[in-house]
């Protein structure tokens, strides 16, 4: 029997197709974890790669013999517990698909950035990237209460869904971020939230980037649970709000614009907004029109277009190093057209500075060196290999190394 025929037996004739132009590559679209388990066992027997596919936002570079497991048919909500605020979903459902089910019930997956909405939940959990967080709701994987997966040896596992004090070691933590190298995530139990009763926006002009970063961390140290916050330097603000209504107020060169959003029960959201306002005042800031912050929020959460191309360099840094990274890159690139930037994705452990460099590749190399020397970490230079103990786990489950072999190479 050929592999194609065996795959058709596992998932049904209509749900297997050869990948065009490749003699030994198939795409299958299973409907259940049991079918995925069958496909993985079959791939182990034939020693061909297994590559999970969510929405394919980042198509893998895999070529050669493989079975691509498309998750599109596994897009159902299995159980919604509105009392415990938990939802059990299949991994092929997108964030947007889940939000469409939750919002009419007064619920939401939370204040996560758009990447979460357009991706499959399995893809989001498989790739832990720093973009998937908000101060208010933490990292998206923190919402994971349990994970179901088919491991590299074809075994199906469901991590224990119980109050945390009753659980021991948690395989879910290893599966999140493993990019399909340990197993195919088939479903997850996620913590969800009530839709906020109120949402407030606040915009302010600070005398400098240093003052703006200090104000944001002052508010965070006061435990303001912000739905989002961003700092623009003057050059970046002028470009992002070029034709905004209301217009951006005049800003001098060193100044910074801070926009923030708070959400939740009205009193709490107002309290968070007031914490930001006091922090801004303490750092010598002045208020700007809140509609600038509302426009920023609509751009990142309601699909309103941003009239600016994406940044060219992303650097993450601990709270104490953000200012130094910003200064170092601006100084180092001053002779090659300079840099403008915004800072966002604030967390207790750091923030991301998004630079747009005016110069070409040489400026980029200079900027990268300056950012590193100032204590920053270049994004894109994220972990590309599993930690040694996970390499051991992987080898035990998957002796032929067939599980997403080009992801997180070890
Ligand atoms: C290397 C890399 C770096 C990224 N960096 C960032 C970033 O810095 N910021 C940001 O916002 N976004 C980043 N992304 C985008 C991020 O991938 C998406 O937010 C999300 O993971 C894509 O979901 P998707 O459904 O389109 O998955 P896909 O693009 O289809 O798959 C993404 C990866 O996850 C694997 N995968 C998909 N579904 C499953 C599953 N159910 N079980 C196991 N593995 C699965 C795939 O094989 C593939 O390796 C990055 C993606 C990759 C691959």
How far apart, in whole angstroms, are the C-alpha atoms of residue 51 and residue 180? 7
Closest CA to 227 of 202, 262, 267: 262
Alpha carbon of 175 to ligand 1 centroid (Å): 13
**Confidence band, pLDDT 50/70/90 cuts, at residue 387:** confident
Q: pTM here?
A: 0.84
Testing ligand 1's pocket by substitution, the residue of 90, 98, 129 carrying the most ligand atoms inside 8 A of its CB is 129
How large is the average pLDDT for residues 207-233? 96
> Mean of the per-residue pLDDT values for the chain?
91
Domains of the chain: 77-194 (3.30.465.10), 197-308 (3.30.70.3450), 309-379 (3.30.70)
How is residue 86 annotated by DSSP? E
186: CB partners within 8 A, 6+ apart:
33, 36, 74, 90, 91, 122, 148, 149, 150, 156
Alpha carbon of 127 to ligand 1 centroid (Å): 5
Alpha carbon of 81 to ligand 1 centroid (Å): 27
How far apart, in whole angstroms, are the C-alpha atoms of residue 130 and residue 133? 7
**Confidence band, pLDDT 50/70/90 cuts, at residue 410:** very low
Residues with CB under 6 A from ligand 1: 51-58, 60, 71, 91, 115, 119-120, 122-124, 126-127, 129, 131, 179-180, 184-185, 379, 404, 407
The answer on pLDDT for 384 being more than 80 is: no
Q: From the CA of 132, give the closest atom in ligand 1.
A: 11
Closest CA to 125 of 64, 66, 189, 43: 189
**Confidence band, pLDDT 50/70/90 cuts, at residue 382:** low
Q: From the CA of 149, give the closest atom in ligand 1.
A: 42
Task: List, in sequence order, every beta strand (DSSP E) within 13-143.
Answer: 16-18, 25-28, 49-53, 66-70, 77-81, 86-90, 107-108, 133-134, 138-139
């Amino acid at each position: 029997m050929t592999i194609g025929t065996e795959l058709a037996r596992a998932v049904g004739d209509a749900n297997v197709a050869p990948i065009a132009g490749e003699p030994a590559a198939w795409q299958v679209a299973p409907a259940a974890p049991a079918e995925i388990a069958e496909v993985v066992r079959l791939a182990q027997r034939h020693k061909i790669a297994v590559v999970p596919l969510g929405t394919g936002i980042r198509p893998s570079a895999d070529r050669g013999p493989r079975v691509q497991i498309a998750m599109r048919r596994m897009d159902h909500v299995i159980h919604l517990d509105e009392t415990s605020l938990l939802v059990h979903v299949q991994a092929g459902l997108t964030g947007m698909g889940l939000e469409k089910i939750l919002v009419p019930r007064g619920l939401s997956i939370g204040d996560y950035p758009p990447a979460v909405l357009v991706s499959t939940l399995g893809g989001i959990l498989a790739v832990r990237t720093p973009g998937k967080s908000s101060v208010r709701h933490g990292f998206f994987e923190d919402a994971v209460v349990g994970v179901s997966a088919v491991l590299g040896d074809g075994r199906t596992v469901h991590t224990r869904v119980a109050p945390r004090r009753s659980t021991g070691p948690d395989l879910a933590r290893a599966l999140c971020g493993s990019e399909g190298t340990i197993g195919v995530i088939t479903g997850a139990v996620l913590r969800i939230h009530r839709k906020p009763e109120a949402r407030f926006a606040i915009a302010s002009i600070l005398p400098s980037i240093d003052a703006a970063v200090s104000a944001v961390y002052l508010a965070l140290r006061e435990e303001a649970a912000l739905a989002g916050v961003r700092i623009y330097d003057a050059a970046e603000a002028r470009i992002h709000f070029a034709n905004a209504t209301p217009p951006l107020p005049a800003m001098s060169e060193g100044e910074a614009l801070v926009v923030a959003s708070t959400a939740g029960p009205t009193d709490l959201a107002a309290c968070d907004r007031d914490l930001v306002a006091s922090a801004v005042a303490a750092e010598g800031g002045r208020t700007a029109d809140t509609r600038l912050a509302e426009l920023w929020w609509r751009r990142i959460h309601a699909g309103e277009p941003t009239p600016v191309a994406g940044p060219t360099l992303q650097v993450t840094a601990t709270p104490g190093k953000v200012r130094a990274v910003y200064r170092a890159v601006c100084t180092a690139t001053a002779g090659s057209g300079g840099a403008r930037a915004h800072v966002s994705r604030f967390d207790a452990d750091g923030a991301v500075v998004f630079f747009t460099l005016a110069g070409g590749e040489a400026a980029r190399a200079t900027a990268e060196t300056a950012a590193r020397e100032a204590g920053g970490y270049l994004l894109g230079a994220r972990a590309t290999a599993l930690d040694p103990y996970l390499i051991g786990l992987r080898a035990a489950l998957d002796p032929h190394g067939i599980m997403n072999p080009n992801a997180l190479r070890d």
